[in-house]
């Protein structure tokens, strides 16, 4: 006859499951609300890289560079910055475009996240 104590049950309790599901849902909501801001930042950085590597833009005036950005940004639906927000510099003979901007992402009720971005075409 086996007189050993039976093994205790193991597993996740209902309250532990509910807490884990709540936590997973909250992290997912925050992540999904932040994705568009980060995607727009990546698009802006890509536009800066394309414009800075364009041979026609190397000797162009600041006005022409900004017009090129306006045309490309309208195609890519960039709304976070305008052409006036762009800093145009020359570093080692290469064109460097940069900008600094902030995005306020509303989460729930009066809770928001404030994100600051500084995309640049320089390495």
Q: pLDDT digit of tens for each residue in the chain (123 aa)?
A: 566 777 777 788 999 999 999 999 999 999 999 999 999 999 999 999 999 999 999 889 999 999 999 999 999 999 999 999 999 998 888 899 999 999 999 998 999 999 999 999 976
Q: What is the pLDDT of residue 40?
A: 97
Distance, C-alpha 41 to centroid of its chain = 5
Q: Does residue 123 sit within a domain?
A: no
**Domain range for residue 24?**
16-117
Strand (E) or helix (H) holding 81 = none
Q: Does residue 2 sit within a domain?
A: no
Q: Does residue 60 sit within a domain?
A: yes
Q: Does residue 4 sit within a domain?
A: no
Q: Does residue 24 sit within a domain?
A: yes
Q: How many domains does the chain have?
A: 1
Q: Does residue 9 sit within a domain?
A: no
């Amino acid at each position: 006859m086996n007189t050993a104590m039976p093994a205790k049950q193991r597993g996740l309790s209902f309250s532990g499951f509910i807490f884990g599901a709540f936590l997973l849902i909250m992290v997912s909501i925050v992540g999904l609300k932040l994705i568009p801001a980060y995607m727009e930042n990546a698009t802006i950085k890509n536009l800066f890289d394309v414009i800075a590597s364009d041979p026609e833009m190397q000797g162009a005036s600041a006005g022409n560079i900004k017009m090129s950005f306006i045309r490309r940004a309208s195609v890519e639906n960039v709304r976070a910055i305008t052409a006036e927000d762009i800093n145009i510099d020359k570093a080692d003979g290469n064109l460097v475009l940069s900008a600094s901007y902030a995005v306020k992402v509303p989460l729930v009720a009066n809770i928001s996240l404030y994100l600051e971005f500084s995309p640049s075409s320089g390495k």
